[in-house]
Chains A and B, each alone.
Chain A
Amino acid sequence: MGVHIEFISQKVLSGKTQAEKLNFILNSVKKDKILVLEEPLSREEEAKLIEKTMGSVSKEFPGIEVSTLGESTEDLRSALIKMLGGRPAGLTVIGPSNLVKQVKKDPNKLQLLAGK
């Protein structure tokens, strides 16, 4: 069986509230999709995503694997970049844990092992 990977541009998620954004992500992941987000999640969003995921855990859906590459802190620099219309460098990969077997990362590289 193949693996479904979706690359999500920044435009898809911009304008969404945090709750809408996280719902979009979780609903897609529960449909066995691996998402690659052009705009990385912030650390706060990652924590909220884990919280939301825990509320969805079931026999069929044990959870997610998530990994962010690059800066995703909500510091003054990132806030200024956003205000000036730019976007923080990096990306986030999210997938269902029963599909994404392993994520290995270092500050400059993400490796993902996926399969049924």
Chain B
Amino acid sequence: MPFRKILAWIRSIFGRKKTFSLGFYGNVSVGKSTLANRISKDWTGEEFTKVSEVPHETRMVVKKEKVVVKVNGKELDMNLLDMPGITTKVDYRDFVQYGMSQSEAQQRAKEATKGIVEAIKWLEHVDAALVVMDATHDPYTQVNLTILGNLEARSIPVIIVANKIDLKKARVDRIKEAFPQHVVVGVSAKTGENMNKLYDAIASKVK
């Protein structure tokens, strides 16, 4: 692992790219796609990824290229990568509860498992990551720890996004306490609250 860190450091000196890929990671239904759409809409005027109440709506990596974010006179040229939500289990019966037929639910479950594998494989290839957490839930989950641990091991810049701050139950402080070593920004991807703070954080992380 120290070798990887040295390699990442060398790359950071010699291999600076003009465009960087920003991956949206996190558990299922934490608002990754809503956040990705919010950023895309703020800077390109259009959304690019589907959002739904049904879990595992994003079952393959969805890409939006050439999103230019302007922060404090600086231009950040990004490719947004909306990742499937990562989880340790996929039960087709959960989809049946949303009105799907058995076969539709099984097909969705099959696609969801493939999406999770794809998201994990991409951990090695993103240049920076937003780890999105639902601020109304306990953040200290194994999935969050596994995602963060793998990004840290590869020295990939990370910002934790505490999403859904528009909800009364949201507790950004709990996420800050759980992961004191990371930058945590509370936002509402739905209403757009605090997005400027997130853009500032991205700009300082990838400078």
User: Which residues on A are within 8 Å of B, measured CB to CB?
Assistant: 42-44, 46-47, 50-51, 53-55, 57, 59, 62-68, 72-76, 79, 97-98, 103-107
* A68 to B88 Cα, complex, angstroms: 13
Please determine whether B142 and A47 come into contact, CB atoms closer than 8 angstroms.
no
Q: A54-B90, A62-B90, A76-B2 are known contacts; what are 11 more A-B pairs with Cβ within 8 Å?
A: A42-B149, A43-B149, A46-B142, A51-B121, A54-B114, A55-B117, A57-B109, A63-B90, A65-B88, A73-B149, A105-B142
* A55 to B123 Cα, complex, angstroms: 18
The chain A residue sitting closest to B102, CB to CB, is A59
Please determine whether B106 and A59 come into contact, CB atoms closer than 8 angstroms.
yes
The chain B residue sitting closest to A56, CB to CB, is B113
CB-CB under 8 A from A106, the residues of chain B are 140
The chain A residue sitting closest to B152, CB to CB, is A73
Q: Tell me if B120 is interfacial: C-beta within 8 Å of chain A.
A: yes
Q: Tell me if B46 is interfacial: C-beta within 8 Å of chain A.
A: no
* A66 to B106 Cα, complex, angstroms: 23
Q: Which of A43, A63, A103, A104 contacts B153 (CB 8 A)?
A: A43
The chain B residue sitting closest to A105, CB to CB, is B140
Q: What would be 30 A-B contacts, judged by CB atoms less than 8 Å apart? A: A43-B146, A43-B148, A43-B150, A47-B150, A51-B116, A51-B121, A54-B90, A54-B116, A55-B113, A59-B106, A62-B90, A62-B92, A63-B87, A63-B89, A63-B90, A64-B89, A65-B89, A65-B142, A67-B142, A68-B145, A73-B149, A75-B1, A76-B1, A79-B2, A97-B91, A98-B91, A105-B140, A105-B142, A106-B140, A107-B140
The number of chain B residues with a CB under 8 A from chain A is 29
User: Which residues on B are within 8 Å of A, measured CB to CB?
Assistant: 1-2, 86-92, 106, 109, 113-114, 116-117, 120-121, 123, 138, 140-142, 145-146, 148-150, 152-153
How many cross-chain pairs have Cβ atoms below 8 Å apart between A and B? 84
Knowing A54-B90, A63-B87, A97-B88, say if A46 contacts B149 (CB, 8 Å): yes
Please determine whether A47 and B89 come into contact, CB atoms closer than 8 angstroms.
no
Please determine whether B153 and A44 come into contact, CB atoms closer than 8 angstroms.
yes
- In order of increasing CB-CB distance, the 8 nearest A-B pairs are A63-B89, A43-B149, A62-B91, A97-B89, A54-B113, A74-B1, A46-B146, A57-B113
